[in-house]
Amino acid sequence: MRAIAQRVHLHTSRLYRSLIRAGLTCRSDRFFDTLAITVPGGSDSVMAAAVREGYNLRRLDNQTIGISLDETTTEADLQALARILNVELVEGDVEPQLSQGSCRNDTILTQEVFHRYRSETEMMRYLRRLSEMDIALDRAMIPLGSCTMKLNAASELTPVTWPQFNAIHPLAPADQCQGYRKMIDQLEAMLCEVTGYDAVSLQPNAGSQGEYAGLLAIKAYHESRGEHDRDICLIPSSAHGTNPASAQMANMQVVVVKCDDHGNVDLDDLDQKIATYGQRVAAIMITYPSTHGVFEAGVTAVCEKIHAVGGQVYIDGANLNALVGVAKPGHFGGDVSHLNLHKTFCIPHGGGGPGVGPVGVRAHLAPFLPRDGVNPERVGPMIAAAPFGSAGILPISWMYIQMMGGAGLRRATQVAILSANYIAHRLKAYYPILYTGNRGLVAHECILDTRPMEKDGHVGVDDIAKRLIDYGFHAPTMSFPVGGTLMIEPTESESLAELDRFCRAMILIHGEYVQVRDGVWPADNNPLHNAPHTLDSILAEETQLAYPRRLALCPDPEASTAVKYIPPVGRIDNVYGDRNLVCACPPVSNYESVEETELTPAMVP
Ligand SMILES: *Cc1c(COP(=O)(O)O)cnc(C)c1O
């Protein structure tokens, strides 16, 4: 890495020397890899000359251009840049422009892991060992509710690896991105068709950013009509945490609307809040189907009530996996929604890769979408640095929609809803389903109420989640949106066999709970309390289990022990760290030798 950095800097120094020798000036003589060069002939002619040679430079102003070099820069690149700038390239080695004093000289990457694997064989096995420790989608279903952990098909991901998509700069000139534009336009049109909205911006990089962009559009719309006092955002108590956070960022005041016993928006409370705030209501943010996993029968009534006082309806579309091809938020009352392409539309998102949270709006809000330099009517503030956000991963969603087609998308929604109802139906005798619609059905996910088990058996939601690991499953969503419960979303990607394997695990776990409740196993020595079981915990001499080792490690009698997932770590106390803050900063004494005047704020622990 040091060699790479030195090489990049020497290339840049050589270009710099060549420019100075030719009488050009740079903004600074201190640089690493980037030069800002004053070009007497004007930036535009230099930029044009660069494009003719196959390079994009950065235009800083009329007279200044920016050039960055990196580890892919070759001698031929330097020669071409010299030609473009009309200078003679200095031959041979030059001195680095950065003085030794400004370079880092301490040792880096000293941790053993950076030095232990010195052959490809070793590296390959290291990576394999790391993946062995994960419960990922290549091993079992990930039933995380509200997360839509569906298949990310290989054929959807393949185009992302093509240089035509991944070797282009996000800010490349428009005439070099015609293909991208075509894909973006088509994807926007397909998402309009799916949602029933008139315009979609792909700029937001996350669902939460889509919320922010949508609320800014609502605000700008009100202001364009002279309604500057609309500052209230109504949000039902079941909302995803990002909703109130986004409303606050958009400078709105959050007013919480209650939910009734069935988990639906409490219409009486809504009426009261509307009566209290009237013309101050800017918007309501609702999720449909609700975060409780239910299609709320009153959704159109909610939308009408808000519209009647001049407010706008934001429908959180992160649960679109229950709607695609079946219902359109833009048609049943929404003015604006975000979608999560990294949920419903197959972009991978476990582990926190880039996301896309497009925001869709009805026509009256379209002018207030984030500006992107391509749609001249959009004049809202940019909410990401690049006009089309994480454009490099859009081929995934484009492929998904194209390959599925309208009928396929509807079928996926139907199967996702069917799968969730199948699980709810099979498990409801063991775990009460917290919320259902008026026909006893759920949407694409369901909430299992495990709170009674805590009360009479001291088996908590954590115990069940950890025990699922012994059965080879990733835990469902815990304690969201209701504390002490599990929310399960199977998606359309799971086969009946996998759904059955999951249900069997949950039913067996319930059986274990019964044994704890009935005193067969002690409350502090049972498979649930001790889960997940590592090999170490089983093999240790001092381990005294009140139950058979086989039950601890391989509890599902129908599952093969040959491919058993073995948890690499036992249980930790999840919230201990949150409640017992430990400062990892170096102690103040470390700074004793430093003169007091040299202490910068960043150094003060
Ligand atoms: C996931 C989710 C969000 C937030 O999306 P991010 O991309 O994580 O910012 C918002 N609302 C709901 C209902 C969600 O499930």
Contact between 98 and 32 under an 8 Å Cβ cutoff? The reply is yes
What is the pLDDT averaged over residues 410-421?
A: 98
- Residue 495 banded pLDDT, cuts 50, 70, 90: very high
CATH topology of domain 2-102: Aspartate Aminotransferase, domain 1 (3.90.1150)
Taking 90 as the threshold, does the pLDDT of residue 587 lie above it?
Answer: no
- Residue 103 banded pLDDT, cuts 50, 70, 90: confident
Q: What is the dihedral of CA 513, 514, 519, 524, to 10 degrees?
A: 0
CATH 3.40.640.10 in the chain is located at 179-400
For residue 319, how far is its CA from the centre of ligand 1 (angstroms)? 9
- Residue 600 banded pLDDT, cuts 50, 70, 90: very low
Contact between 208 and 226 under an 8 Å Cβ cutoff? The reply is no
203, 211, 237, 240, best to mutate for ligand 1 pocket (most atoms within 8 Å of CB): 240
What is the pLDDT averaged over residues 480-507?
A: 97
- Residue 591 banded pLDDT, cuts 50, 70, 90: low
Tell me the average pLDDT of the chain.
94
Taking 90 as the threshold, does the pLDDT of residue 42 lie above it?
Answer: yes
pLDDT per position as a tens digit, 133-163? 999 999 999 999 999 999 999 999 999 999 9
For residue 43, how far is its CA from the centre of ligand 1 (angstroms)? 43
469: CB partners within 8 A, 6+ apart: 135, 475, 531, 532, 565, 567
Of the candidate ranges 299-303, 372-376, 549-553, 585-589, the one whose mean pLDDT is the lowest: 585-589
CATH topology of domain 179-400: Aspartate Aminotransferase; domain 2 (3.40.640)
CA distance readout (Å), 11 to 6, 7, 54, 167: 9, 6, 19, 22
- Residue 604 banded pLDDT, cuts 50, 70, 90: very low
pLDDT per position as a tens digit, 307-358? 999 999 999 999 999 999 999 999 999 999 999 999 999 999 977 678 999 9
How many Cα neighbours within 13 Å face the side chain of 330? 24
The C-alpha atoms of residue 528 and residue 510 are separated, in whole angstroms, by 10
- pLDDT higher for 604 or 301? 301
CATH topology of domain 412-572: Aspartate Aminotransferase, domain 1 (3.90.1150)
For residue 357, how far is its CA from the centre of ligand 1 (angstroms)? 9
The C-alpha atoms of residue 66 and residue 12 are separated, in whole angstroms, by 12
Nearest atom of ligand 1 to the alpha carbon of 342: 7
Taking 60 as the threshold, does the pLDDT of residue 397 lie above it?
Answer: yes
Question: What length is written for the chain?
Answer: 605
Q: Residues with beta carbon inside 6 Å of ligand 1?
A: 146, 206-208, 240, 242, 287, 291, 316, 318-319, 340, 355, 357
What was the pLDDT predicted at 593?
59
Residue ranges of E strands in 50-103: 58-61, 64-68
Q: By CB neighbour count within 10 A (0-12 exposed, 13-18 middle, 19+ buried), where does 500 fall?
A: middle
What was the pLDDT predicted at 601?
45
Contact between 493 and 150 under an 8 Å Cβ cutoff? The reply is yes
Taking 60 as the threshold, does the pLDDT of residue 74 lie above it?
Answer: yes
Residue ranges of E strands in 237-328: 253-257, 281-287, 312-317
The C-alpha atoms of residue 191 and residue 203 are separated, in whole angstroms, by 14
CA distance readout (Å), 559 to 352, 531, 553: 31, 18, 11
- Residue 363 banded pLDDT, cuts 50, 70, 90: very high
Taking 70 as the threshold, does the pLDDT of residue 596 lie above it?
Answer: no
What was the pLDDT predicted at 78?
98
What was the pLDDT predicted at 594?
53
What was the pLDDT predicted at 599?
44
pLDDT per position as a tens digit, 201-252? 999 999 999 999 999 999 999 999 999 999 999 999 989 999 999 999 999 9
What was the pLDDT predicted at 592?
65
The C-alpha atoms of residue 86 and residue 551 are separated, in whole angstroms, by 77
Q: What is the dihedral of CA 546, 548, 552, 554, to 10 degrees?
A: -170
> Which residue's CA is minimally distant from atom 6 of ligand 1?
207
Contact between 448 and 489 under an 8 Å Cβ cutoff? The reply is no
Beta pairing partners, 383? none
CA distance readout (Å), 362 to 87, 175, 401: 54, 29, 22
For residue 463, how far is its CA from the centre of ligand 1 (angstroms)? 26
CATH 3.90.1150.10 in the chain is located at 2-102, 412-572
What is the pLDDT averaged over residues 439-464?
A: 95
pLDDT per position as a tens digit, 264-296? 999 999 999 999 999 999 999 999 999 999 999
For residue 560, how far is its CA from the centre of ligand 1 (angstroms)? 36
* Token reading at 146: 């509200």
Closest CA to 157 of 174, 137, 185: 137
